Each structure stands twice: as C-alpha cells, then as structure tokens.
Amino acid sequence: MHPVYDWKVRSASVSCRSGRRRVAARASAAAVLLTSAASAAEPAAAPPDSRGAAPQGPYETKATRAPAERTLFTRDLEIAPPPPSHVVYFQYGVAFTTEQVIAPGPICDNVGVPCILGAGGGIVVRAGYRSIGPFYIGGAYELTKQDPNKLYRIALLQQARGEGRYYFDTARVTQPYLSAGLGVAGYGNEWKIDTWGPSGSVGAGLEYQLTRRTVVGIALNYRVLYFGRFVDTARSDRDPGLAQLFGIDLVLEQRDAAFRQGDAPR
C-alpha cells in the first residue's frame, strides 16, 4: 500500500474513535444533568409524625402539620384529668333561696284558722372547709320571710345548721354534689321565736368554677323541720309536728387557700 494512503486511513480511524468518545461523554453529562434536575424538582418526603401516623401526602410540610398537632394537643389537654390538689380551701359565700312549703304539718291542721306557715324566700350565709378530697364541711345560717296569712306582721323562719357535701370528680369546671345538713329552726313574728325544733335536710347541687377562686351554682334541698306547740298572735293553739319544705338556692361562693397538706392550719 502506498505510504501516504495508509497514513490517511489511520488518521481517519483515530478521528472516528475520538468522535465516538466525545459523543459518549456528552451523553453521559446530559444524563447526569437530567437526573439532578429531576431530583431537585421532586419534593422531599415528610418525616413520620411523632405520634406514629404516616405522612398525609407528598406535599405535607412542617407548616401544614402544625395546626393538626396543635389540635391533638388541645384535645389531649381537655380530656386529661387535672393534677391532684394538695390545698385545703376555706370556702364561704351567700345564696338567694326560696322555701316552698310541701306540707305544713300539724301547725296548720286546724281548718278553722288560716295556715300560719306559707312559702317564702331570703338569703343563706355559708362558710366551711373544702378538703383535698371530695368533701366539704361547714355551717350555714338561713333567714327567710314566709307568708303567715296576715297572722304575723313579719314572719321570719330562721335556720342554723351544719352542712356537708360530697363532690363528684368530673375533671371539668362543673362539678355535681350531694349534700346533707342537721341543725335547728325557729319561727315567729319579726325576730321573736314562737316555736323551734330540730331540722334536717338532704339535697343535690351543681357548682361551676368561674375563676380559680370564685364559684357559682344551684342547689335543690328537701327539708324537714320540727315545730313545738305554741300559741300564735290570734290566740290559736298550734299543735307540734313536722313540716316539710323544698328549697332552691342560687349560690355565689369564694375559695381562699387555708393550708397545704402536711402544713399546720392557719
């Protein structure tokens, strides 16, 4: 073969192989660029929720999970019971009350004269201790003006009693309770006591905590009062016996910390 021709053939072959290498290198570079672009365009998967729930979708981010997490936290806080209290409270307040007469008893058995004991209303003053547990123990003084059918100018029913309550724990600001009381009751014209005797009551109520220290509520009470024999202002003889009354209290009370468990009372 001619030397010049052989050199041309070899040069063409080398050029062809070099061209193929350049094409392959460019193709590889293009593939790498496409792969990088696709990876950058695809959103990162959200990490698993701290509560173990799977991500909701490829577009979920920390900002979109925040409201859901706050909702779960609020729900858990609402259903969680409050921490145990180690404080004994001094609880006191007033109530507006009504005394409806269910049965006046023997003091109104004489049909020839009007009944001297009718319905009325007034106020109650209370004070006591609310324990660490579900109990309240205290005392109350109640003063109500009753309807005497014009036999008294101002018919006053006065009651002094010790009271107890048992609260049912609801882990809420509203708490129902049962109550009971024992004491004495007196009845007469103005501040004079014409008849008196022991009294007892049972009831139920509902208490709502307005603030950390202030509570309001409503209570229903059934009372039994014993009145001794007496003579009224019309000179009518009134027989002794039991009178039955039904009371409704609208309560407003305050709580002050008295002492903590293990500390000496103030």
| Contact (CB, 8 A) for 138 and 126 | yes
pTM of the model: 0.66
Domains of the chain: 3-79 (no CATH), 87-260 (2.40.160.20)
In angstroms, the CA 224 to CA 44 distance is 76
In angstroms, the CA 232 to CA 230 distance is 6
Task: Say what the pLDDT of residue 80 is.
Answer: 47
| Contact (CB, 8 A) for 99 and 245 | yes
Q: Which segments of the chain are extended strands (E)? A: 87-103, 120-130, 135-146, 155-167, 174-189, 195-209, 214-227, 230-231, 237-238, 241-260
> Structure tokens of 80?
């969680």
Segments of the chain with pLDDT less than 50: 2-5, 7-9, 14, 50, 52, 54-55, 77, 80-84, 264, 266
Task: Say what the pLDDT of residue 119 is.
Answer: 96
Q: Distances from the Cα of 26 to the Cαs of 30, 31, 140, 210, in angstroms? A: 6, 9, 98, 77
Task: Say what the pLDDT of residue 21 is.
Answer: 64
Which pLDDT tens digit goes with each residue over 254-265?
Answer: 999 887 765 545
> Structure tokens of 233?
């202002």
In angstroms, the CA 91 to CA 177 distance is 15
Task: Say what the pLDDT of residue 86 is.
Answer: 77
Task: Say what the pLDDT of residue 83 is.
Answer: 44
26: helix, strand or coil:
helix
